[in-house]
Chain A
């Protein structure tokens, strides 16, 4: 079997159908079905990544329906292409999907009783959509997959409380505007180039030198605007915090690490593969404007995160800030910024997963994620809290975790491009994250009253009574995925060079300034 790339999508797709159909027979099989289809999908994406690394052109291609490239010109038939970037993102998507499906047993039963078959069907379709976005090589197919992911996402979020339904409505309106603008942009691309294949579009742009064409400029603005809305970039972020905060636990664990990151991948794909470096960075004014917007975005999101008193809300605003990091990494326009951006997509998926899994356990055990409910939680659930704070340290950017290395490349990129405002904002945001997480650590370790005064008397007396310190850890089906995610954060951090090497191989095909002047 050589076409592993298509199996990445087929496993969860058929799993979803199986879950939906088997719901009448037995609800118990849905959980194992989702785990097995995710296992198959992870296996296929690992194989695809290995194939892509080993192949001489560093990409694997599969054309649906047998419209082979030898007989028909590029653009006839839908192509699935996994270059190194796409294969890495697909692996991240399926890996996160596997961990969350392991985790889902307890929360899904508790939060959506009786609806497990439909929940797992939506869950697996969501992963199909996201993995498809990472792999498709066709601009219109990308729109369809974005909508597959978005529609299932709306459904998954709306399964929460009534409050979640209200949040979902906003998400539907903004998400539809975003996707429709993207579709409109693709229309202009098709109008001008006559093809929908991503590589085909770039070939036409470069061969006909369409750099100053007004239609292409309109297409670029529409596509990028649509994607920025979908990824919750700062002025368009309004849908995200409420949607992720009120969604069922499993949903927020799946969507928070993946949706925004996959949309950033789409932006990188559009900028590099579809429009090409010369068009995106040289013929438009985006490189001038966007880093300043990023500065505003990061500062505002960080300040709003600081104002939250609820863990899930705080994490949701952190995601908005992290989106700012990655968008900035792309638009400061140099080699290191893009390495940082791509690596941050991967590491941010890992650490956000870690944090949301931890927040889900806190919600499960304490029935609240509000700061006041966290008193002395470390004595109660030490393993959960260690896992949670590995994610937190990675967001701050402490060295053994992967967050440090991606931030390192982003800051290097800012320095090489002499974008001091971006660098300073990154530093500022790091400080805010330190405040956020150490404030949490204080609350979780010690008994602190509402005004922040420590109730303990020191010398090992934390001011907790016996009931608060009794060991009461989360169920294993939730704890193991969390610890798995935490160890992935550290392992990706330690082996960061392996990941960065692959990203460098991918980026070497594009003509990016490295900032090093050997004259």
Chain B
């Protein structure tokens, strides 16, 4: 099965690193596209980035090679010196250009160094994405994509596309013949009815008195168009003042 030249040999023995990275890459891609939960999507993103890191690191590896740190026996000036005085001697003479035969026993350090940068970028992306998830959860009370889309659609239907809040009032007398429009309104009314227990569950953090985290939470809620107006106004004014004080 694993004899020379067969497909199994090529995939699982000779090119095992590429095989694994492609499998991981596809798992990550699938999770990012197909998963419904936003956190699972982020886990997929992490797997995706890790697969690329594996690819880079594996191309720097050589059979039987050591870590790329200047060995004392490779330094032409330090070779005859005892090991203790070696450190200062290297500094005095500076690094030498090594011959090809000596270099071949080191692994290639560059891919590893590149991946340090890529890991940092990945961590930053993940942190940012998690904080965005947190804001989505505080704003909409869900991290499931289908529920989120439902709520977004509902919001767009209520406000006429984000900012144009005057629109639905104007629109209803004009297009009274369009049944689809009316039926959509009915469903949105139903949804807002069914959503009530959900939204009544959530005010908990808002009633908690302004801790720093609670303030930023309230701030993000002030622009939320999902809520009824009178409640929003009451909530809007008190948290503003302490927040500006605390940021000074």
Contacts and interface: CB of A to CB of B under 8 A. Distances in A.
Nearest to B145: A169
Contacts of B140: 162, 166
Given A368-B165, A372-B166, 20 more contacts: A114-B244, A147-B125, A151-B121, A151-B124, A158-B135, A161-B162, A161-B223, A162-B139, A165-B139, A165-B220, A172-B45, A173-B45, A176-B48, A176-B49, A191-B59, A245-B162, A310-B164, A367-B163, A368-B164, A370-B166
Identify whether the interface residues of A are mostly helix, strand, loop, or mixed.
helix
B160 A162 contact: no
Given A368-B165, A373-B166, A144 B38 contact: no
Nearest to A173: B32
B124 A163 contact: no
Contacts, number: 123
A450 B170 contact: yes
A162 B41 contact: no
Contact of B174 (A140, A166, A369, A450): A450
Interface stretch (A60-68, A98-106, A182-190, A501-509): A182-190
Contact of B170 (A363, A367, A372): A372
27 contacts: A113-B244, A114-B243, A114-B247, A140-B117, A158-B128, A158-B132, A162-B135, A162-B226, A165-B136, A165-B139, A169-B38, A169-B136, A172-B125, A172-B129, A173-B32, A176-B48, A180-B48, A180-B52, A183-B118, A184-B52, A187-B52, A309-B161, A309-B164, A310-B161, A310-B164, A313-B161, A368-B165
What is the interface residue range for chain A against chain B? 35 or more
A426 to B, nearest CB: 29
Contacts of B247: 114
What is the interface residue range for chain B against chain A? 35 or more
B167 A177 contact: no
Interface string B60-90: 0000000000000000000000000000000
Interface of B: 25, 29, 32, 38, 41, 45, 48-49, 52, 55-56, 59, 110-111, 114, 117-118, 121, 124-125, 128-129, 132-133, 135-136, 139-140, 148, 152, 155, 160-167, 170-171, 174, 220-221, 223-226, 243-244, 247-248
Interface in A466-509: none
Contact of A162 (B56, B166, B223): B223
In order of increasing CB-CB distance, the 5 nearest A-B pairs are A370-B164, A162-B139, A165-B135, A161-B223, A147-B121
Residue with the greatest number of chain B CB neighbours at <10 A, chosen from A177, A246, A451: A177
A168 B118 CA distance: 21
Given A166-B148, A183-B52, A176 B125 contact: yes
Residue with the greatest number of chain A CB neighbours at <10 A, chosen from B110, B132, B133, B174: B132
B180 to A, nearest CB: 16
Interface string A367-401: 11110110000000000000000000000000000
Interface string A338-370: 000000000000000000000000010001111
Contacts of B166: 368, 370, 372-373
A187 B162 contact: no
Contacts of A113: 244
Nearest to A175: B125
Nearest to B135: A165
Contacts of B160: 370
A463 interface: no
B129 to A, nearest CB: 5
